[in-house]
């Protein structure tokens, strides 16, 4: 007898929850997709343009070639992203720009350093290192596997 009372009570509760969800969905404001797209495009483009300026700086000032300027450019962008993450600037940029701040190099550096900063109280090895590479582990594994597959395909094409 008690189970049938509980079943009816759960049924009424589930129905009320469903009605509430439907009403809430009707009044929920639609996200400003166009504005979000424009913000992401502008901020992502600005980060990429800044990267190009850094690359041009290394080419003109230090005499790098276009091929060799990539490594110091990436290192500089990573350093700036980690610095801005530590200062709390990159988080504000991410809230404003959304996906635009997730440009591959700077977004990855931000996510890695955020995990390290968040878990620093747990120690260097288990806190910083362990949690930082939880995020990076999948990226590194899939990057290595993708490189292996591409190199095998290239090797097979050259061999044949």
Distance CA 38, CA 136 (A): 29
| Number of structural domains found in the chain | 2
Q: 3-state DSSP helix/strand/coil percent for the chain, to nearest 5?
A: 90, 0, 10
- Compare 20 and 137 and report the one with higher pLDDT: 20
Q: Is the pLDDT of residue 7 over 80?
A: no
The predicted-structure confidence for 90-116, as pLDDT tens digits, reads as follows 999 999 998 888 887 898 888 888 878
Distance CA 81, CA 87 (A): 10
Residues 69, 144 within the same domain: yes
Residues 69, 20 within the same domain: no
Residues 65, 97 within the same domain: yes
Residues 2, 50 within the same domain: no
Name the pLDDT band for 2 (thresholds 50, 70, 90).
low
Residues 66, 123 within the same domain: yes
Residues 148, 70 within the same domain: yes
pLDDT of amino acid 111? 82
Provide the domain limits for residue 149.
33-159
Distance CA 152, CA 159 (A): 10
Q: Is the pLDDT of residue 123 over 60?
A: yes
Can you read off the two tokens belonging to residue 89? 């600037």
Residues 95, 146 within the same domain: yes
Residues 70, 6 within the same domain: no
Nearest to 92 by CA among 135, 29, 43: 43
The predicted-structure confidence for 124-160, as pLDDT tens digits, reads as follows 777 777 777 777 777 778 888 999 999 999 999 988 7
Residues 61, 10 within the same domain: no
The predicted-structure confidence for 39-67, as pLDDT tens digits, reads as follows 999 999 999 999 999 999 999 999 999 99
Residues 8, 70 within the same domain: no
List own/partner pairs for 131-136 with CB under 8 A and 24 or more apart: 135/111, 136/108, 136/112
Residues 70, 120 within the same domain: yes
Please give the model's pTM, rounded to 2 decimal places.
0.68
């Amino acid at each position: 007898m008690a189970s049938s009372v509980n079943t009816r009570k759960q049924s009424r509760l589930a129905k009320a929850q469903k009605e509430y969800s439907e009403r809430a969905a009707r009044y929920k404001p639609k996200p400003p997709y166009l504005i979000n797209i424009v913000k992401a495009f502008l901020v992502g483009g600005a980060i990429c343009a800044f990267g190009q300026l850094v690359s041009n700086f290394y080419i003109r000032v230090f005499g790098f070639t276009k091929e060799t300027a990539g490594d110091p450019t990436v290192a500089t962008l990573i350093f700036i992203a980690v610095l801005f993450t530590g200062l709390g600037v990159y988080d504000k940029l991410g809230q404003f720009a959304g996906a635009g701040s997730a440009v591959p190099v700077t977004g990855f550096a931000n996510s890695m350093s955020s995990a390290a900063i968040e878990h620093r109280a747990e120690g260097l090895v288990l806190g910083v290192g362990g949690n930082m590479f939880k995020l990076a582990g999948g990226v590194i594994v899939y990057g290595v596997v993708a490189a292996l597959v591409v190199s095998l395909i290239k090797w097979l094409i050259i061999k044949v």
